[in-house]
Amino acid sequence: MNARRTSQITAITGALLLIAIGLHLGGLHEWRQGTLIISTVIAGTPIAIKAFQAIRMKTFSIELLVTIAVVGALFIGEYVESAAVTFLFLFGAYLEVRTLEKTRSSLRSLIDMAPVEATVLRDGETMTISVDDVEEGDRVIVRSGEKVAIDGEIISGKATLNESAITGESVPVTKTKNDRVFSSSILENGFIEVLADRVGDDTTFARIIELIEDAQETKSKTQKFLDRFANIYTPAIVVMSILVYLFTRNIEMTLTFLVVACPGALVISAPVSIVAGIGNGARNGALIKGGEIMESLGKIDTVVFDKTGTLTRGRPEVTDIHTFSRKENDLLRVVAEAEMISEHHLGQTIVREAKRRNLILVNEPQNAEVIEGNGIRADIEGQTLVIGNRKLMRTNGIAISNEVEAYAVEREKSGNTAIFAAIDGTIAGIISIVDQIRPEATSALQELRANGIKQIIMLTGDNRHTAELVGKQLDFDAVYAELLPEDKVAMVQKLKNAGHRVAMAGDGINDAPAIATADIGLAMGEGGTDISMETADVVLMADRLDQFSHAYSLAKATVRNMRQNTFFAVGTVVILLAGVLLGKVFLASGMLIHELSVLLVILNAVRLMRYNNKNGKKETATPILQTE
């Protein structure tokens, strides 16, 4: 039964109850009884139908208990009770749906952000079409105040966009040619033309919505337990009611016992908290994938961070090229040509720097080999290049002189990653690359500690000096450097074996195995990359670490809220049952208190939607690794 029909029947039976009061005051006893019976039948029929449907689906429901109680009340001539109980039950159900809407509203407001139409340029003509009719490859025009309807790359124009629907970050970003834009971003200022490459259900926004919807339907351990409990509890209450009748021979007390023992608030106590918690996370850019994950996240005591792309911005820059044998640009050109095949962010940084210097990269690398976690080896113009870390140099039998080593260490101690570039077995130069620490990292880690994280550890493939410098700046408990992906997995496993509950935060690609090993895997979403969104338990959509500290404290608050609700629901039933057995609580008043307890449980969960972690303070200072 939907909310509208429930409200209609509630209104009719409410009016009938008022008429019955009038008839009672007018002394028309027979008419009053008739009105009460009609009211009971009108309100009781949908309840009985639902009870029957639930039985057909092999579940015991609260409606079944109410139906038994109402039939019993009619049977013994307690028409006031039967009419009041059915009315209160329906009224409660109506209020429940309305109040539940509040916990659902965070998701609803996200869904409503989806664009409806788009302006596309087809065959030289501009036309406005439904967003469902936009096809891949369409050129989409977005003007000020409009929503981007697709995912794609800007092919012309420049604009300021609000991407809060995707990232939870409301500060607008400026984008121009070759930048990616996402569906449901709002163009605040400017004009862009976008080449659509993801449309409809394939857009990042559509996938986020689907993930959040699925997360809200995924049950937590507590929820699963309560569901099982409710299935045993309801028939148990029927049996106990029979026992109450056998002992007291009081049919009224028995029926009241039956109604007040309903597990309504108990069944709803966990899911409403979870839904409100997930909604809050989504609005703040932290996608928490389900109730069970919410519970696990709230229990972690150790956080392991990858460095590059997680603690740092992931946008490294070449700061210095030191050569030992040839000209700077010449070395950069051949190294960049070799790195063209690399997907590693440091390799890409070198290629980017070469392009920035307008160097022409024409030679294709031959016999190229990527040595994971160490670097690459390739032939360019008949020369063999080995580019990477010390370990790679050693394994390739390339000597590192004292002079080269001293220079590399000096660069590393000032926060750079030193890339050794050897040509034909001799070190030709060192390329220094630096990646800035995220501005919010310090405050986010402080917040995590303030909220109960016992230890924070860094695992990185980067060199020891840079890792230690970052570790010192961010006050880590331990720093492990020069690790391969499998070393990270082993470290996470070791921490788990030592009894810690571990969350691993990474950028979702080379850290994927460690993320999968941890109790909670957390990925930086970068506006929703496929791998991170699919594999991690928690995704930070705006790549902001403070979203993690928010997600953690939110998870704790959600678990707390869930416990409060369960405690309150059980407490209410226990007190009510005691009241019934002591003869202090009656059918209608019992139902009223019962319904109020359901509403209170929902309203307690609604508090979570406004939850904001107060422990942490926003940090304005930007600690940046110095390059010199």
* Active-site residue set: 306
Q: Binding residue for another protein (CB under 8 A) from 216, 223, 269, 558?
A: 216
CA 434 to CA 626: how far, in whole Å? 8
Q: Which residues pair with 380 in a beta bridge?
A: 383
CA 274 to CA 562: how far, in whole Å? 8
Span near another protein by CB under 8 A; candidates 76-84, 103-111, 240-248, 353-361: 103-111
CB 610 within 8 A of CB 277: no
Closest approach of Cβ 282 to another protein, in Å? 12
Q: Which residues pair with 126 in a beta bridge?
A: 121
CB 506 within 8 A of CB 310: yes
Q: Binding residue for another protein (CB under 8 A) from 1, 71, 359, 398?
A: 1
Tell me the helices (H) and strands (E) count for the chain, helix number first. Answer: 21, 20
- Does 104 interact with another protein (rule: CB under 8 A)? yes
Residues 60 to 89: which contact another protein by CB under 8 A? Answer: 61
Nearer Cβ to another protein, position 87 or 548?
Answer: 87
CA 160 to CA 441: how far, in whole Å? 26
Closest approach of Cβ 215 to another protein, in Å? 10
Long-range (24+ apart) CB contacts under 8 A made by 542-545 are 542/163, 542/167, 542/168, 542/169, 542/285, 543/167, 543/314, 543/438, 544/169, 544/285, 544/438, 544/440, 544/444, 545/310, 545/311, 545/438, 545/440, 545/441, 545/444, 545/445
Give the position of tokens 């019976």: 37
- Does 54 interact with another protein (rule: CB under 8 A)? yes
State how far the alpha carbon of 441 is from the alpha carbons of 234, 307, 549, 613, 622, in Å: 50, 11, 10, 16, 9
Span near another protein by CB under 8 A; candidates 56-64, 78-86, 293-301, 488-496: 56-64
Residues 294 to 323: which contact another protein by CB under 8 A? Answer: none
CA 159 to CA 157: how far, in whole Å? 7
Span near another protein by CB under 8 A; candidates 105-113, 120-128, 180-188, 537-545: 105-113
Binding mask 247-286 for another protein (x = CB under 8 A): ----------------------------x-----------
Task: Tokens for 494, please give them.
Answer: 């070791």
- Does 478 interact with another protein (rule: CB under 8 A)? no
Closest approach of Cβ 184 to another protein, in Å? 15
Nearer Cβ to another protein, position 77 or 137?
Answer: 137
- Does 108 interact with another protein (rule: CB under 8 A)? yes
Q: Binding residue for another protein (CB under 8 A) from 12, 37, 97, 606?
A: 97
Binding-site size, another protein (CB under 8 A): 29
Task: Tokens for 366, please give them.
Answer: 């031959």
E strand or H helix that includes residue 457: strand 455-459
- Does 59 interact with another protein (rule: CB under 8 A)? yes
CB atoms within 10 A of CB 436: 18
Residues 127 to 166: which contact another protein by CB under 8 A? Answer: 132
Q: Binding residue for another protein (CB under 8 A) from 39, 82, 86, 103?
A: 103
State how far the alpha carbon of 399 is from the alpha carbons of 344, 395, 465, 510, in Å: 25, 10, 20, 29
Task: Tokens for 237, please give them.
Answer: 């209450």
Closest approach of Cβ 611 to another protein, in Å? 18
Span near another protein by CB under 8 A; candidates 1-9, 148-156, 169-177, 381-389: 1-9
Nearer Cβ to another protein, position 53 or 622?
Answer: 53
Span near another protein by CB under 8 A; candidates 99-107, 136-144, 175-183, 515-523: 99-107
Span near another protein by CB under 8 A; candidates 164-172, 213-221, 382-390, 483-491: 213-221
Closest approach of Cβ 214 to another protein, in Å? 8
Q: Binding residue for another protein (CB under 8 A) from 8, 53, 156, 626?
A: 53
Return the closest-CA partner of residue 348 out of 301, 381, 387, 386. 387
* Ranges assigned E (strand) in 131-211: 139-143, 151-162, 173-176, 180-181, 186-198
Closest approach of Cβ 86 to another protein, in Å? 16
Residues that bind another protein (CB under 8 A): 1-6, 50, 53-54, 57, 59, 61, 93, 96-97, 100-101, 103-104, 107-108, 111, 132, 200-201, 213, 216-217, 275
